[in-house]
Copies of this chain bind each other. A is one copy, B any other.
Amino acid sequence: MSESHAIPGYAYGNVSQTTPLSLEELDLLKQTVLFSPEDERFLHLAGEVLGDQTEAILDVWYGYVGSHPHLLHYFSLQGQPDGHYLSAVRKRFGQWIIDTCTRPYDTAWLAYQQEIALRHHTTKKNLTDDARAEPIIHLRYILAFIVPLTLTIKDFLAAKGHNAETVAGMHAAWFKAVTLTAVLWSYPYVHTNEF
């Protein structure tokens, strides 16, 4: 992971967030999204398939954010987008695609989920990149992103010639992983004992 360490602000394995869930609770959550060992294998394959396509994927996602003022809003202050912020986050976002497919969902993974959650929340937003932008991303949109992040990945999963069944398997595994992630990221927003 030598490249990863070159990404400013990327701190996987170097954060000591208290995680909202124990590994046992994570396991129950995985059961709830029907996440099986087969999904783990499909995710690893997805990591190989997506590995050299992250820039193209990010073009789609940044195009989507950039064309919706209510989303670009969160990279902006008083209507003025922070260009440095947009490009700094983009590098970490690319790394996240690979991490989501290839990292074991263990304590280090849980800790970095909590770190990213806090970076979307007032607790830590803007700090990593010294950004000039809105102080919080509202939870409704974090959860809503499950849809675009899931639907738009399909073509990229299909781009390397795998058969329809394998693509569908990778796609379902990705959907489960993104939902699991969004669930974990909701934690800082939720009343004590209601998560």
- Which residues of A does B touch, CB under 8 Å? 21, 28-29, 31-34, 68, 70-71, 121-122, 136, 138-141, 143-148, 150-151, 172, 175-176, 179-180, 182-183, 186, 189-191, 194-195
A194 and B183 contact, Cβ closer than 8 Å, known pairs A32-B145, A144-B32 = no
Flag if A194 contacts B34 (CB, 8 Å): no
Could you say how many copies of this chain the assembly holds? Answer: 2
Main DSSP-derived SS at the A contact region: helix
Closest beta carbon of chain B to A126's beta carbon, Å: 16
A144 and B33 contact, Cβ closer than 8 Å, known pairs A28-B70, A186-B186 = yes
Flag if A179 contacts B147 (CB, 8 Å): yes
Contact partners of A32 in chain B: CB under 8 A: 68, 70-71, 140-141, 144-145, 147-148
Contact partners of A141 in chain B: CB under 8 A: 29, 32
Contact partners of A150 in chain B: CB under 8 A: 175
Flag if A147 contacts B175 (CB, 8 Å): yes
Closest residue on chain B to residue A183 by CB atoms? B143
Flag if A147 contacts B33 (CB, 8 Å): yes
Complex-state Cα separation, A54 to B28, whole angstroms: 27
Contact partners of A122 in chain B: CB under 8 A: 194
Flag if B194 contacts A189 (CB, 8 Å): yes
Contact partners of A121 in chain B: CB under 8 A: 194
Complex-state Cα separation, A18 to B191, whole angstroms: 20
Complex-state Cα separation, A122 to B193, whole angstroms: 11
Contact partners of A183 in chain B: CB under 8 A: 140, 143-144
